């Protein structure tokens, strides 16, 4: 495969800011394509986020919360936006305790991924822990979540019911399956 | 876990359209929180997408393309936006052939997931095939992609190098690991 960036690159001709909000901003870029034509690209900017795969006695710690973008309650692994300049591992530890009340005594990086590379630069950093102890729950003022430990069979049932249906939690369930089979994420 | 939607629900008080583009639209909703306070929610609307995990002789079919939102070339499984009213399996078959030139002789649904439930309604439907035959490649006018078959070791090397770093492809590599170990996705 030729991954010659120059052969595939889209050069920015113009960038128009459309919106700057509390969480995301939006811009429309006009780009020059490799064939010399132009196209527009709608791009959402996001500060990035962390998520935590926390296992305890072969159960996964999840939270239920209302997702306005989907207009329904979803069960997901704990996650949250990065604060400016924040260390990734510190952010993962903070979000875990804020959302669930559990403190991670270790946190290892599993992987990082862009959630929607077609239109957004959001990156999510996934951390793993199997060492958690009770701490202090402290939700954001506009956050309403409920925490629970589920078995992998419950996770599959939640997927079948549509209660679990976000990329990071679905990926985590697949990673968990691998971890149960091999003791690692490979 | 109490998944009483009413206890977690955020009721829409007002919805302000901000932008309507070629791919996405953006609105800001003012919501009433369960505690009686209000908050704003920035919401991106997206038509949804399909992606294809195509295996051939224990290799995964991937495409390299420039992602403007990330300002870099990425290696991903084939994927594309849904066209209005399109059947999901037909869309997966269409995108696979358009982007790679391969025709799937079977397609089974693996899972569907929301990529960024915190701010977007984009849902991605993942299909699996291990029966592909050469067809006709037919890229969109503004699409420049290169197709390749990679082993799972190459996939891991691409992840380590940051060439593979999107949610759907990362999830697919974990699902592939499970599939290699168990012969299924569980």
Domains in chain A with CATH codes: 5-45 (no CATH), 49-182 (3.90.79.10)
pTM (two decimals):
0.95
pLDDT beneath 50, residues of chain B: none
Catalytic residue among B76, B98, B99, B141: B141
Q: Mutate which of B1, B35, B74 to test chain A, going by most A C-beta atoms within 10 A?
A: B1
Q: Are B55 and B129 in contact (CB under 8 A)?
A: yes
And the tokens for B112?
């569907």
| For chain A, percent of residues with pLDDT exceeding 90 | 87
pLDDT for A70 equals 97
The Cα–Cα gap between B54 and B128 comes to: 6
Q: Mean pLDDT over residues A1-29, rounded?
A: 88
Q: What is the mean pLDDT of chain A?
A: 94
The Cα–Cα gap between B142 and B140 comes to: 5
Of A35, A43, A144, the CB nearest to B8: A144
pLDDT for A168 equals 98
Residue A5 has pLDDT above 80, yes or no: no
pLDDT for B141 equals 77
Tell me the per-residue pLDDT of A54-82, one tens digit each, with 9 for 90 and over.
Answer: 999 999 999 999 999 999 999 999 999 99
Q: Which residues of B133-155 are buried (b: 16+ CB within 10 A; e: fewer)?
A: eeeeeeeeeeebbbbbbbeeebb
pLDDT for B146 equals 86
Q: Mutate which of B45, B82, B119 to test chain A, going by most A C-beta atoms within 10 A?
A: B119
pLDDT for B5 equals 62
**How distant is the alpha carbon of residue B75 from its chain centre?**
13
Tell me the per-residue pLDDT of A114-165, one tens digit each, with 9 for 90 and over.
Answer: 999 999 999 999 999 999 999 888 787 777 888 999 999 999 999 999 999 9
Note if A141 is an active site residue: yes
Q: Are A75 and A62 in contact (CB under 8 A)?
A: yes
């Amino acid at each position: 495969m030729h991954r010659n960036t120059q052969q595939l690159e889209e050069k920015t001709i113009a960038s128009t800011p459309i919106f700057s909000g509390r969480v995301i901003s939006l811009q429309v870029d006009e780009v020059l394509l490799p064939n010399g034509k132009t196209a527009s690209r709608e791009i959402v900017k996001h500060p990035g986020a962390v998520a935590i795969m926390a296992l305890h006695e072969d159960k996964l710690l999840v939270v239920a919360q209302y997702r306005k973008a989907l207009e329904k309650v979803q069960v997901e692994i704990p996650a949250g936006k990065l604060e400016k300049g924040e260390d990734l591992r510190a952010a993962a530890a903070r979000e875990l305790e804020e959302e669930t009340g559990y403190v991670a005594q270790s946190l290892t990086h599993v992987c990082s991924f862009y959630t929607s590379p077609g239109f957004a630069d959001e990156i999510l950093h996934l951390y793993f822990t199997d060492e958690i102890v009770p701490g202090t729950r402290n939700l954001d003022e506009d956050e309403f979540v409920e925490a629970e430990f589920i078995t992998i069979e419950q996770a599959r049932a939640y997927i079948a019911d549509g209660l679990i249906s976000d990329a990071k939690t679905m990926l985590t369930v697949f990673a968990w399956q691998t971890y149960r089979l091999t003791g690692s994420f490979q």
